[in-house]
Amino acid sequence: MVLHGTWLTPTGCGGWSGAETVGRAHQASKPRPFAGNHPAGKADPMAVRDGGGGCPKQGWSPARLRGHRAPTFPQTWPGHPAQQSPPRTAGLCWDLSWLAATREPSPAAPQRCPEALRPGSPGLMEPPREGGGGVPEMAAALRAAKRALRAELRQRLRALGTAEKQRQSRLLSRKVIGHSRYQESKRIAIFLSMPDEIQTEEIIKDIFKQGKECFIPRYKPDSNHMDMLKLSSAEDISSLTLTSWNILQPSDDDSAREEALAGGGLDLIFMPGLGFDKKGNRLGRGKGYYDTYLERCMKHPSGKPYTIALAFKEQICESVPVAENDVQVDEILYEDC
């Protein structure tokens, strides 16, 4: 097989060309002088046997393409200050073009390597968390995709009339009350609705009517921390504080309420969101409150609770862009489901 590709690192780039077959590259193990601007008389420890590819300024090029370690890096090179070699995990293969096979791969060569080097495979870095580290271009593309979809969904919700929101909310309330998971659950967390969300007032009333325990979110501003605090009754909602986000929640100095994970955990969480797809992917508002809270739930002895998203049918998307830390919901309830 003839290979072409590029090797990217935080300190530079390298590559290999199609002049070397997989079988021969697999056998390239001895150091040899580098053909570029490498210091005279010094061997490039990972040079490809044809002398091609690599990064002339840095004095290295990848070899051992199949089943071998990432290339090592020289401590110094012309035109660059001395610095420590980056860790082996710093290298990233990207923009590979896998051309037509000219023959079967060498039987001695491991068979996982070509697939592991393809973009998007487990052998490569996955898209980073929203707003986190990783590959900057991938992080920026993910954030841009989420921003665009959020803008579209907000526009859809603004176009949805009050009467239609109330109709779909009543329909979903009946679906929830008849749902087997809801009926079996004793400790339930549910959001207090914003104007562009399914209204949960009737569900909360039924939670208390059936003698279940009800927990509601308290969001911490300027962070992704959220607690689920216990309500004593449906009427208790009137004692809550209205935040700058126009959400009712317990005040910061309200320490008398039980936090769900300080006790018996939760059986069920009803989750809000801006958009969802039928695979269970959820697009929130960008803070990561629920993803972070579910990570905490997984460490609780009772384990992760069952999650149900409540959505208007206008919030269902063909596909939602997600990062590795975006937790899928177990079920989405909407009018047509």
pLDDT-based confidence at residue 134 (cuts at 50, 70, 90): low
pLDDT-based confidence at residue 137 (cuts at 50, 70, 90): confident
Q: Is the same domain home to 114 and 187? A: no
What CATH number does the domain containing 176 carry? 3.40.50.10420
Task: Give the Cα separation of 127 and 142 in Å (integer).
Answer: 8
Q: Which of 124, 142, 170 is the last residue of a domain?
A: 124
Q: Which domain holds residue 270?
A: 161-333
Q: Is the same domain home to 25 and 114? A: yes
On whether residue 177 sits in a domain, the answer given is yes
On whether residue 137 sits in a domain, the answer given is no
Q: Is the same domain home to 8 and 61? A: yes
Task: Give the Cα separation of 216 and 190 in Å (integer).
Answer: 5
Q: 333 vs 130, which has greater pLDDT?
A: 333
On whether residue 148 sits in a domain, the answer given is no
On whether residue 21 sits in a domain, the answer given is yes
Structure pTM?
0.61
Q: How far is CA 335 from CA 164, 173, 301, 311, in A?
A: 11, 11, 34, 8
Sheet strands (E) in the chain: 3-9, 12-16, 32-33, 43-44, 92-98, 187-189, 213-219, 226-231, 241-242, 248-249, 268-271, 275-277, 282-283, 306-310, 316-317, 331-333
On whether residue 99 sits in a domain, the answer given is yes
Q: Is the same domain home to 170 and 313? A: yes
Q: Is the same domain home to 303 and 195? A: yes
Cα dihedral sign, 226-229-235-239: negative
Q: Is the same domain home to 190 and 110? A: no
Q: Which of 68, 103, 124 is the last residue of a domain?
A: 124
On whether residue 129 sits in a domain, the answer given is no
- Residue of 206, 208, 230 whose CA lies nearest to 217: 230
pLDDT-based confidence at residue 323 (cuts at 50, 70, 90): confident
Q: Is the same domain home to 97 and 226? A: no
Q: Which of 124, 148, 182 is the last residue of a domain?
A: 124
Q: Is the same domain home to 61 and 188? A: no
Domain count, the chain: 2
Question: Using one digit for the tens of pLDDT, what is the confidence trace for 32-85?
Answer: 343 344 444 444 433 333 334 444 444 444 433 344 444 444 444 344 444 443
- Note the pLDDT of residue 224: 94
On whether residue 43 sits in a domain, the answer given is yes
Flag whether pLDDT at 216 surpasses 50.
Answer: yes
On whether residue 142 sits in a domain, the answer given is no
Flag whether pLDDT at 186 surpasses 90.
Answer: yes
